[in-house]
Amino acid sequence: MTAEPGEFLSMLTPDEQAALRKAGRPRRWERGATVMTEGDTSDWVLVLTEGRVKCSSHTSSGNEVVLAIRGPGGLIGEMASIDGSPRSATVTALEPVGGIVVADFAGFLREHGNVAVLLMQMVTGRLRDADRKRIEYGAFDTTGRVATRLVELAERYGEPTNGGLRVALPLSQDELAGWTGASREAVSKALRTLRDRGLIETGRRRVIIHDLEGLKKRAR
């Protein structure tokens, strides 16, 4: 099983990965499919092995708030599995995805104490990341928040190309707006500002980062 650095699966030993595969079953979803639905009471978890998903929630006014992007190695649905509460987010396939579905994840953790410790470390990291994003919303303008998300995408998914890093992630401007806590119009203006400064180049569902260090400075 493949995993991005820092994702849950990458933290496990080969033996632990093999045990996880044995405890679950493989499953696939097509691009655009709903993997999990906010409010559902199912308690299975998904360990992604291929493709990327977005985790999102909707406000009372119907606006989508993108909470996270997860890629290969990511663990999805662990909170509902552990505490039995309804799903806190909807998970949607951004591209064809595959993974291992584990029905009794709590039982797996009871049998593999080291994995339980690693899970706590992962959850702590996610809480720190959520705190950091809340600080960003109060301290940064829209352009700064957009720059921050683009830096994150470049560092996770950037592929070297002529003149920079190419990020081929199927996120629309509406989804990017939901990820930065801004309107689509504000995100469009922020992207235009970053383009005018020569930091990025944008195309249909892709971004080329021409100056990553300059983008990091604008993010700060």
State whether CATH 1.20.1260.10 applies to domain 141-219. Answer: no
CATH topology of domain 8-137: Jelly Rolls (2.60.120)
Residue boundaries of the structural domains of the chain: 8-137, 141-219
The reported pLDDT for the residue numbered 131 is: 80
Give the model's pLDDT for residue 29.
98
Q: At what angle do helices 173-180 and 142-157 cross, to 10 degrees?
A: 110
Q: What is the reported pLDDT for 26?
A: 96
Neighbours of 130 (CB within 10 A): 12
CA–CA gap between residue 209 and residue 166 (Å, rounded) = 6
CB atoms within 10 A of CB 165: 21
pLDDT of the residue at 179: 85
| Single-letter amino acid code for the residue at 53 | V
Q: Report the pLDDT value the prediction gives residue 1, as an integer from 0 to 100.
A: 56
Asked whether the beta carbons of 153 and 194 are under 8 A apart, the reply is: no
Calculate the dihedral angle through the C-alpha atoms of 19, 98, 33, 159, rounding to the nearest 10 degrees: 130
**Cβ distance 62 to 69 under 8 Å?**
no
The edge-to-edge listing of strands for the beta sheet with 25-29 is 25-29, 97-102, 45-50, 75-76
Domains 8-137 and 141-219 share a fold: no
| Residue numbers of the chain with a pLDDT score lower than 70 | 1-2, 137-139, 170
pLDDT reported for residue 2: 67
DSSP 162: T
